[in-house]
């Protein structure tokens, strides 16, 4: 948990899927990227994890907004190098790290993700960790789907999830629900 003396840089950016609230630390590590109109999603996270920390508006800090703009312009792999730290439990961090290995334009089921992190019986826990992800899009929880290929819950709403997957599939040159092959 951040100390009260830490300072965080805050920026709101406009995107084709709505406004995003972005919070980075002073080293440029992205800590939060949430849909700004989904207050139930980001507000409790910020209050809990950043209680007492100094927040400073800082448009353009570290170039993350420009990188996200490139993603929305079709360079879907542009976001892969943005450093992140969602400050979760060890299990959540393992899930979030695995999410970043799902290639843009591809999807993976919760069960396959559980197997990938070495916890094949933890499908429900993987789902909960996926839902607790505080860094939308960059930590691509939207790329996780049901075992039958169906779109399942997404904190930003299923329409956004559908848009993000279609955007990535279009710009990856592959079909919308290309499966990631894992052995």
Q: Which residues are catalytic?
A: 141
Q: Strand pairing of 54-57 and 7-13?
A: parallel
Helix (H/G/I), strand (E/B), else coil: 117: coil
107 and 69 in contact (C-beta within 8 Å)?
A: no
Q: Strand pairing of 20-25 and 30-35?
A: antiparallel
Sequence-distant (≥ 6) Cβ neighbours of residue 180 within 8 angstroms: 102, 103, 106, 107, 108, 112
How is 118-171 classified by DSSP, letter by letter? T-TT-HHHHHHHHHT-SBTTTS-GGGEE-TTS-----TT-HHHHHHHHHHHHHH
Which residues pair with residue 5 across a beta bridge?
Answer: none
Residues 167 and 161: their CA atoms lie apart, in Å, by: 10
Q: Strand pairing of 178-179 and 54-57?
A: unpaired
């Amino acid at each position: 948990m951040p100390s009260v003396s830490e300072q965080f840089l805050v920026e709101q950016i406009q995107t084709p899927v709505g406004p995003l609230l972005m919070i980075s630390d002073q080293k440029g590590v992205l800590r939060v990227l949430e849909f700004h109109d989904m207050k139930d999603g980001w507000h409790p996270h910020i209050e809990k994890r950043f209680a007492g920390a100094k927040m400073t508006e800082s448009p353009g800090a570290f170039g993350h907004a420009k990188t996200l703009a490139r993603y929305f312009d079709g360079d879907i792999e542009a976001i892969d190098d943005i450093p992140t730290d969602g400050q979760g439990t060890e299990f959540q961090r393992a899930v979030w790290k695995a999410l970043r290995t799902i290639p843009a334009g591809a999807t993976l089921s919760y069960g396959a993700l559980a197997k990938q992190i070495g916890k094949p019986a933890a499908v429900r826990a993987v789902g909960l960790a996926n839902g607790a992800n505080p860094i939308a899009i960059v930590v691509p929880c939207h790329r996780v789907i049901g075992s039958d290929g169906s779109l399942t819950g997404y904190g930003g709403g299923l329409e956004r999830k559908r848009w993000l997957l279609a955007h990535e599939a279009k710009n990856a040159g592959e079909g919308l629900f290309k499966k990631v092959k894992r052995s």
